[in-house]
């Protein structure tokens, strides 16, 4: 692999890792709320969460570019605070990826929390466990498979991202150039050998990751039954 390819790999892994961590921090409370609320606005919240599943990534990227760019509301706010606009930066990529991969983290977590239900939490409360205690010692361990799925899908989906990154990240090697865009560049200039290397690598990586997850989930199901 050449240096620019290695740099793209590094940016990709960094982006996927940071995005997954941010998504866990933001997505867990959102998933908890969606699983437990009786609020009338829940369907709207669920629809908003699921939007990235159906929208073309370019639509998402386009609006993000406008919002985050120097003239967008977020861009102007950051400018007023003396910060750089987010478009064409790694931070901008993280924002885009978080939105783009949101459903892949929130939906498995929401389903896992819903499956845990109120029963074990009520039992824990009656045994003297407060809300945070119940969450970390009962809800999270029981939703363990949901977390494994959420982390894997969030990570893998971010690794495979293309459209949003292209729209808001540009293609700055070592800064915002990720693997999927590097592949695109190689193909455009007919460097099929290098495109093969990266594509095959991604394919193998995704396959291995998903196999490990499904095997783990299956094993915990067997143990648990």
Partner 1 sequence: MSLEARLSLRRPGFLLDAALSLPERGVTTVFGPSGSGKTTLLRCLAGLERPAGELALGGEYWQRDGYFLPAHRRRVGMVFQDGRLFPHLTVRGNLRFAMRRAGCEEAAMDAPVALMGIERLLARRPDTLSGGEVQRVAVARALLSQPRLLLLDEPLAAVDARRKQEILPFLERLTRELALPVVHVSHSLDEVIRLADRLVLMDEGRVVASGGVTEMFSRLDLPLAQREDVGAVLEAHAPRPLPGYHLTEATVAGQKLLLPGESAEPGERLRVRIRARDVSLTLKPPSETSILNVLPGRITEVVERPDAPGQRLVRVAVGDAALLSWVSRLSAERLALAPGQAVYAQVKAVALA
CA geometry: angle 92, 17, 113, nearest 5 deg: 105
Q: Which of 154, 207, 131 is nearest to 25 (CA)?
A: 154
- We find the least distance from the C-beta atom of residue 147 to partner 1, in angstroms, to be 13
Cβ atoms 142, 119 nearer than 8 A: no
Q: Which range binds partner 1 by CB under 8 A, 6-14, 57-65, 83-91, 117-125?
A: 117-125
- Number of shown-chain residues binding partner 1 (CB under 8 A): 21
Positive or negative torsion for Cα 74, 49, 95, 163: negative
Asked if residues 56 and 166 have their Cβ atoms less than 8 Å apart, the reply is no
Please report how close the Cβ of residue 103 comes to partner 1 at its closest, in angstroms. Answer: 27
User: Is residue 222 part of the contact set for partner 1 (CB under 8 A)?
Assistant: no
* Residue selected from 80, 128, 193, 222 as contacting partner 1 according to rule CB under 8 A: 128
Beta carbon of residue 115, minimum distance to partner 1 (angstroms, whole number): 11
Contact region for partner 1 (CB under 8 A) — 10-18, 98-106, 126-134, 177-185? Answer: 126-134
Task: Indicate the length of the chain as a whole number.
Answer: 225
Residues 106 and 149 sit within 8 Å (Cβ to Cβ):
no
Tokens 């783990």 correspond to: 216
- Quick one: 82 or 128, whose CB is closer to partner 1? 128
Residue 137 interacts with partner 1 (CB under 8 A)?
yes
Nearest distance, CB of residue 145 and partner 1, angstroms: 11
Judged by CB under 8 A, which of 6, 53, 77, 127 binds partner 1?
127
CA distance 210 to 82: 43
Binding footprint of partner 1 on the chain (CB under 8 A):
119-120, 122-131, 133-134, 137-138, 141-142, 144, 224-225
């Amino acid at each position: 692999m050449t240096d620019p390819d290695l740099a793209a790999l590094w940016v990709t892994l960094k982006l996927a890792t940071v995005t997954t961590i941010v998504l866990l921090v933001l997505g867990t409370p959102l998933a908890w709320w969606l699983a437990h609320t009786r609020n009338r606005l829940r369907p709207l919240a669920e629809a908003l969460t699921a939007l990235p599943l159906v929208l073309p990534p370019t639509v998402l990227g386009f609006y993000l570019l406008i919002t985050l760019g120097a003239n967008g509301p977020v861009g102007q706010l950051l400018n007023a605070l003396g910060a750089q606009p987010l478009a064409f930066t790694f931070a901008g990529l993280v924002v885009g990826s978080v939105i783009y991969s949101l459903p892949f983290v929130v939906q498995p977590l929401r389903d896992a929390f819903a499956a845990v239900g109120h029963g074990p939490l009520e039992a824990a409360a009656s045994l003297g466990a407060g809300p945070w205690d119940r969450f970390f010692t009962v809800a999270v361990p029981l939703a363990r498979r949901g977390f494994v799925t959420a982390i894997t899908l969030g990570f893998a989906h971010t690794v495979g991202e293309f459209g949003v990154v292209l729209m808001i990240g540009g293609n700055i090697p070592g800064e915002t150039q990720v693997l999927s865009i590097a592949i695109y560049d190689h193909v455009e200039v007919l460097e099929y050998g290098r495109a093969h290397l990266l594509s095959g690598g991604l394919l193998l990586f995704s396959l291995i990751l998903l196999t490990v997850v499904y095997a783990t989930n299956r094993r915990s199901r067997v143990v648990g039954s």
